[in-house]
Amino acid sequence: MFTFAANVEELINNFRIEGATFRYSSFVPRLYNYVKSLGFETGKMLPSRAFCADENQGYPIILLTKHFGSYPFNHGRGGAVVATDRHEPFAEHGEGLVIIHASHVGYEPDSEQFGAYNRVHTRDSRHTACCGKINAIVSWYLEQYRIAQADILLECSDGALCLRIDNGLLRHSTAKSFLASDALQKELAHLESKIKDGQRIPIGEHLKPDMFFFRRELDETVEGRNHQELELIYPMPWIVTSPWPLLTAAQINTQVEFDRTLRTVAHANIFRDKCLFYISGLNIDISPQPGELFPTTKFVPWAAFLRDRKGGQRIIEQAELVSLLRQQSKENPDQIDMDQAIREMAEADTVEIVTPASA
């Protein structure tokens, strides 16, 4: 249990946000220039995005279209789960393949809070959870954690600290009192003097993530109904005790989805003789201010995977990846003029659709 705790804490702490963020208007041209420097050919690159379905992910998609000259293939499911069964059709559509995967989280600049987003298209521009899919998963566990904080009581018996656990948290008809372990006795020693004989106090904020875990019956089908919840249930104690649960959940989802998808693209024969660059990170959706049409979305790279035509493979970790992107120019001479492209299509000669004559 403690080994697992250390691994989860290391996973969370390794994800750096400060000093590692890019405006999408800067990130996308830098990404384009970087893969071009690797030998990806202009006009033959095909981007693919594995984003959530939210409308606030549209601005990044527009920028990907502008800089890569192609509307990105859709590689994502709700909550930014990568649809690995779409690798084959994606690979058939281009030569230089670039997959951008990102979980997302809302950010309110006025309150400096993560997890909510101003939905400007609603009647009252109300703030709702962002990412909604991840919030739908995390909410149940947050409620169970709050119940446990209130229903696990600390008491002293014969000078020893005990935990009285409500029957709602146990498979018993009545509450049970347990002697605290030596480690817990030591950690909560400062509370013993505050507990009088016969008194019980809720454990509250002293219920730390390495003290509990969640168990729930879930569908274990890969990319099935409970796929994302299965990925989050083991680190869930760290998510529900985080100051910003949706931020922590989005970070972890980015990390575990990168690892899972990496194994599929690294061994897929369909990418043989193709150039492939797969990058995973976090989209931070900054709520639009009055008069703004789109969020000022920022991207935090986490890791990337490169596969060349000869089968050579390389994983790029966060620090190096951020450095490599910063070295690239944010000017892209190959970007397309979206207005002109749309105008040319509107003014193009009409093509008559001919159907076979009826038999």
Give the pLDDT score at 233.
Answer: 97
Q: What is the mean pLDDT of residues 111-134?
A: 89
The pLDDT of residue 3 is above 50: no
Bridge partners for 303 per DSSP? 280
238 part of a folded domain:
no
308 part of a folded domain:
yes
Q: What is the mean pLDDT of residues 261-274?
A: 93
Give the pLDDT score at 141.
Answer: 98
91 part of a folded domain:
yes
Question: CB of 53 within 8 A of CB of 355?
Answer: no
* Whole-number Å distance between alpha carbons of 275 and 210: 43
170 part of a folded domain:
no
Residue 177: helix, strand or coil by DSSP? Answer: strand
Q: Which domain range does residue 90 map to?
A: 14-129+243-347
Q: Which range, of 116-125, 137-146, 202-211, 250-259, averages the lowest pLDDT?
A: 116-125
Counted domains in the chain: 1
Label residues 309-320 b or e (16+ Cβ within 10 Å = b).
Answer: eeeeeeebebee
Q: Please give the C-alpha separations between residue 147 and each of 94, 103, 185, 203, 214, in angstroms, as whole numbers.
A: 52, 28, 22, 11, 13
Task: Give the list of residues 6+ apart from residue 128 with CB closer than 8 angstroms, or none.
Answer: 116, 117, 119
Task: Give the list of residues 6+ apart from residue 343 with CB closer than 8 angstroms, or none.
Answer: none
237 part of a folded domain:
no
How many CB atoms lie under 10 A from the CB of residue 353?
A: 5
Give the pLDDT score at 1.
Answer: 33
E strand or H helix at 237: helix 236-240
Give the pLDDT score at 5.
Answer: 60
Residue 108: helix, strand or coil by DSSP? Answer: strand
C-alpha distance across the termini of the chain, in Å: 72
Q: What is the mean pLDDT of residues 142-147?
A: 97
202 part of a folded domain:
no
The pLDDT tens digits of the residues spanning 83-113 come to: 999 999 999 999 999 999 999 999 998 899 9
178 part of a folded domain:
no
The pLDDT tens digits of the residues spanning 24-33 come to: 999 999 999 9
The pLDDT of residue 120 is above 70: yes
Phi, psi (5° rounding) for residue 319?
-60, -45
218 part of a folded domain:
no
How many CB atoms lie under 10 A from the CB of residue 183?
A: 11
* Whole-number Å distance between alpha carbons of 90 and 95: 10
Q: In degrees, to the nearest 5, what angle opens at C-alpha 86 toward C-alphas 84 and 90? A: 125
